[in-house]
């Protein structure tokens, strides 16, 4: 029996919630959990260099199988020695399997038992992605953690559709497990689906746990349902997963969703939000969102966030950042991206401390009040 590529060590359970403190041991380092993973869809976290990512304490970052398969192609990345060498990132990398991106990006053609036929969003070419092909691409890219090929059905699809989709996704997961060439150095996670239905989440989790994956992702969420609905699904989904394996909530999220996910036993998160909103000048701060292009900041010579010790908040003012965005200067989106990523990475650090101190609910109350969530 080969040693799994990734090992989760549960260090402590928070006294009053389902939150846990742990470490995730990977071939490219051991990282504390709960953790936030910056997204670098096309082998780059947009506008931020690996050196800056390290400086801000990023551990594992994400890339996308779908995008890198289409461009530059997994063969070229393999020729470079894999993603870590290609993008000069020597910490952790996780790749999503492409299923989600096909449904969200490509012009859909057809979903069959075998796989998914679709047209490339780049040039309209007819393409086909199967569990075997997705795993082969992820094996070639060489990420430390890779995802099973799954279907993420719309949250409000019919019960029957979601049930059939869960059953097919479980069969796809088993096919992916069989096709996986490097379980010793790449950990393949199963992805739990089932929409908002407790029995379908149980059906999905049961099938995947019986296949004994080294880690489990919770998919099918953060796809337009309310935060209350997402939290409700987490309430009955995380307990279905083994305590000694990492749990990754895909595509999440905003500060409140991160805190509420940790409280429900989630260990890993990723979201494009921090870098995406930064590109139009929306910044997360301890006092809530700051839309830096607003005229109110024109003469505001304070830091973006007076509680933040990041490079941006130590060296630049709101007035300067507003000027950069008004002048459409690239440095503006770079600095806003840097701060937003730092903000979420630092939030996870505060959450880990709150778990250690058994006061995560107090931390939640203070953070929500200061951020302005209680006013919403
Ligand atoms: N919300 C959401 C987000 C993502 C993308 S996670 C990601 N990939 C690259 C960056 N981030 C999902 N991915 C898969 N495979 N399945 C899902 O159900 C799912 C759900
Ligand atoms: Zn900052």
ipTM of predicted complex: 0.99
Ligand 1 pocket mutation, candidates 41, 152, 195, 271, criterion most atoms within 8 A of CB: 152
Asked about 260 being catalytic, the answer comes back as no
Q: Whose CA is nearest to atom 8 of ligand 1?
A: 96
How much is the pLDDT for 265? 98
160 assigned to active site: no
Mean pLDDT across 153-168: 97
Q: Which residues line ligand 1 (CB under 6 A)?
A: 39, 62, 64, 96-97, 99-100, 147, 150, 152, 191, 219-223, 250-251, 270
Residue 13 bridge partners (DSSP): 20
Of ligand 1's listed atoms, the one at least distance from the Cα of 39 is 10
Q: Which residue out of 154, 251, 254 has the highest number of ligand 1 atoms within 8 Å of its CB and is therefore the one to mutate? A: 251
What average pLDDT does the chain have? 97
Q: What is the pLDDT of residues 78-117, one digit of tens each?
A: 999 999 999 999 999 999 999 899 888 878 779 999 999 9
| Percent of the chain's residues with pLDDT above 70 | 100
pLDDT in tens, 107-160: 877 999 999 999 999 999 999 999 999 999 999 999 999 999 999 999 999 999
pLDDT at residue 16, rounded to an integer:
98
- What spacing in Å lies between the alpha carbon of 45 and ligand 2's midpoint? 17
The model carries a pTM of 0.98
């Amino acid at each position: 029996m080969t040693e799994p590529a990734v090992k989760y060590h549960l260090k402590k359970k928070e006294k009053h919630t389902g939150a846990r403190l742990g470490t995730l041991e990977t071939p490219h380092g051991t990282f504390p959990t709960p953790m936030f993973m910056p997204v670098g869809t096309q082998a780059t976290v947009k506008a931020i260099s690996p050196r800056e990512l390290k400086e801000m304490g990023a551990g594992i970052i994400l890339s996308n199988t779908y995008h890198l398969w289409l461009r530059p192609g997994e063969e070229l990345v393999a020729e470079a020695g894999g993603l870590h060498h290609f993008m000069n990132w020597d910490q952790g990398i996780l790749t999503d399997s492409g299923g989600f991106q096909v449904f969200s990006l490509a012009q859909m053609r057809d979903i069959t038992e075998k796989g998914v036929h679709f047209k490339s969003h780049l040039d309209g070419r007819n393409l086909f992605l199967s569990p075997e092909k997705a795993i082969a691409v992820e094996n070639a890219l060489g990420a430390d953690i890779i995802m099973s090929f799954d279907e993420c059905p719309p949250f409000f699809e019919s019960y029957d559709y979601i049930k059939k989709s869960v059953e097919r996704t479980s069969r796809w997961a088993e096919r992916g497990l069989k096709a996986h060439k490097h379980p010793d150095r790449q950990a393949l996670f199963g992805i739990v689906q089932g929409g908002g239905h407790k029995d379908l989440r149980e059906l999905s989790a049961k099938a995947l746990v019986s296949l004994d994956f080294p880690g489990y992702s919770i998919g099918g969420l953060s796809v337009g349902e309310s935060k209350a609905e997402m939290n409700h699904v987490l309430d009955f989904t995380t307990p279905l997963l083994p305590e000694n394996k990492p749990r990754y909530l895909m595509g999440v999220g905003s500060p409140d969703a991160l805190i509420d996910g940790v409280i429900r036993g989630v260990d890993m998160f990723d979201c494009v939000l921090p870098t995406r909103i930064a590109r139009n000048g929306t910044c997360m701060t301890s006092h809530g969102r700051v839309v830096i292009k607003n005229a109110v900041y024109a003469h505001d010579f304070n830091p973006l966030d007076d509680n933040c010790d990041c490079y941006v908040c130590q060296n630049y003012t709101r007035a300067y950042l507003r000027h950069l965005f008004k002048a459409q200067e690239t440095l503006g989106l770079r600095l806003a991206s840097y701060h937003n990523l730092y903000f979420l990475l630092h939030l996870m650090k505060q959450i880990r401390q709150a778990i250690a101190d058994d006061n995560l609910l107090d931390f939640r109350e203070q953070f929500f009040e200061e951020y302005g969530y209680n006013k919403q």
